[in-house]
Structure 1
Amino acid sequence: MDDEQDPRQRFAEECRSARDLFPERRLNQTELARMVRVSKSTISRVEICEGPIPPDLPPLLDQVFSTDGLFKRLYEQIAAGSFPAHSRRRMMLEPRARAIAEWSATLVPGLLQTGAYARALFSAGDPRATERELVHKVGSRLARQDILRGSSPPDLSVVVCESVLRRNVGGAKVMRDQLAALLWYGSQPTTVLQVLPFSANAPELLDGSLSILTMPDGATVLYTEGVRSGSILEEPATVRHLSRSYDVVRASALSRDASADLIRELMEAS
């Protein structure tokens, strides 16, 4: 139970313990830092639960200590804990999904956001947030994108409403960079990015966002989100109904190439 309540503390304890019990000899922090290609101060901060854990560190620790993904799993729990309570289970499931489908009528999905775009959203949502809080929130959001850069990224299908591309978030430069990022993501072999144009009929899903996660065992889990709430949906009839609604949205959207052309046109005009 303690592990579930405080994965950050367990991460630190497991790191210290693994150093002490390293097969050849006890490793000091400097030696471990050299093996995982970070500074000694980074290892020190990790072991006293101070500051964020670099997202590329957990798999390196698993490799060095032969811990079969332990540090990666703990990191996923830590990352999930930095999100609002209603979205934490989704954050736990997302790194394990073999396929992810996203629909958004209002904003660029978090998996595809640039740091500046995410920061603008967080600043608008909480004008009193401190610089440290903003840095932490943006870092947590960007850390999610590690799953798209690994050796075996999930199949990703994204449909956004045209309004997402035209809505000014953070100013002209932020939007240009965000549109450029969408073009890059859309060009990746495992990603299909489409735009639902204004000319399409209003979809059933117009009033919110939807994520469809297909897990390794074939199970399908849905996540819907509003302004300050979110829900995991697993009831078979609901999953079938909303998955079908997503299929309709995707069929009504522009093709992959036509979507890229529209994004490029808006980027160049901004």
Structure 2
Amino acid sequence: MNADTDGTDGAQDPRKQFAEECRSARELYETGPLTQTQLARMVRTSKSTISRVENCVGPVPAGLPPLLDQVFGTDGLFKRLYEEITTQAFPERYRRRIELETRAVSISEWSPTVVPGLLQTPSYAWALFREGNPRASEAELANSVSNRVTRQEILTGSTPPDFSVIVCESVVRRQVGSPEVMREQLSALLRHGRRPTTVLQVLPLDAGTHGLMDGPMSILTTSDGAIVVYTEGIRSGAIIDELADVRHLSRSYDVLTASALSRDASAQMIRQHMEAL
């Protein structure tokens, strides 16, 4: 497998380690071995989910690691392994951002060109990946889409970060894929905008110039209070943690927030474009 999608080998693979630790903790449980069914009841999931996790089949559900840590008293072991699994599913240049994303208590995102990855539907993501890499195989595309969708679980877990996102009106207007794909994506944006932990705004095209016209940006705040900015180019990504630069870019984001439409007005614009397709 390509190093960009695996990033490790053998026993050091965090996905395999997660499976082995889960199986070992279950079999060595303090009051006696647990069956997969018993463990499933304790962590409020299904036996088939525990079986898939222990056999490295499919992704690890985002809400499972903290519950395993709680049941087994493993002091964050499963949570740390899950963060490594999530991070290593992405190319090297993006891994630092993904690692921070899994630990973020607050994410503020600006996207001038496409729907942010955390909000993309599988069909929308597929259309983007297909256009970006026309020589990719169906399996490669499916893997890229799966990684992106799995990453989105941070917004639906038990402790989602506060998520503020501003998209340019052009993102809403630009058709990616078929009209059906775009309607589905706009409908998904409306659903995300109704989440209590999400604030979704649209920056109208007539808002004029602003300080973040160079490209997309994310501001990530972790539980220890650290704030970093992630900026992205066509084939590159950069972490900015210099205090003065972070303060300047955060201020530019605040100005953008003030210039964008309100939540209700943004939802109305999205709905109008969806209905017009």
Deviations 1:10-40 (A, max 9, x none): 2122123212311122235565456553345
Cα offset, 1:44, TM superposition: 5.0
Corresponding residue number in structure 1 for 2:164: 157
Say whether residues 1:203 and 2:210 are aligned partners: yes
Cα offset, 1:243, TM superposition: 1.1
Paired amino acid for 1:11? F
CA distance in 2, matches of 1:91, 1:188: 22
In 2 relative to 1, CA 29–130 (structure 1 residues): closer, same or farther, beyond 3 Å? farther
Aligned residues: 269
- SS of aligned partner of 1:213: strand
Corresponding residue number in structure 1 for 2:151: 144
CA distance in 2, matches of 1:188, 1:43: 29
Corresponding residue number in structure 2 for 1:23: 30
1:104 pairs with 100, 111, 123, which one? 111
Cα offset, 1:215, TM superposition: 1.7
Cα offset, 1:180, TM superposition: 1.0
Give yes or no for contact 2:65–2:82 (8 Å, CA) kept in 1. yes
Q: After superposing the two structures, state which structure 1 stretch, 197-206 or 164-173, moved more.
A: 197-206
- RMSD over aligned CA atoms reads 2.5
CA distance in 1, matches of 2:151, 2:241: 22
Deviations 1:72-97 (A, max 9, x none): 22112111111111111111111221
- SS of aligned partner of 2:32: coil
1:252 pairs with 249, 259, 268, which one? 259
Q: Counterparts in 2 of 1:1-270, with a 5 A limit?
A: 6-29=13-36, 31-32=38-39, 37-40=45-48, 43-270=50-277
- SS of aligned partner of 1:224: strand
Paired amino acid for 1:209? P
Q: Which segments of 5 or more consecutive residues in structure 1 lack a partner in the other structure?
A: none
Give the 4+ runs in structure 1 shifted more than 6 A.
1-4
Q: Which segments of 5 or more consecutive residues in structure 2 lack a partner in the other structure?
A: 1-7
Deviations 1:186-217 (A, max 9, x none): 12222211111111112232231100011222
Give yes or no for contact 1:3–1:10 (8 Å, CA) kept in 2. no
Paired amino acid for 2:74? T
- SS of aligned partner of 2:71: helix
- SS of aligned partner of 2:199: strand
In 2 relative to 1, CA 28–190 (structure 1 residues): closer, same or farther, beyond 3 Å? closer
CA distance in 1, matches of 2:125, 2:11: 28
Deviations 1:88-122 (A, max 9, x none): 11111112212110000101111111121112112
CA distance in 2, matches of 1:91, 1:35: 29
Give yes or no for contact 2:11–2:17 (8 Å, CA) kept in 1. no
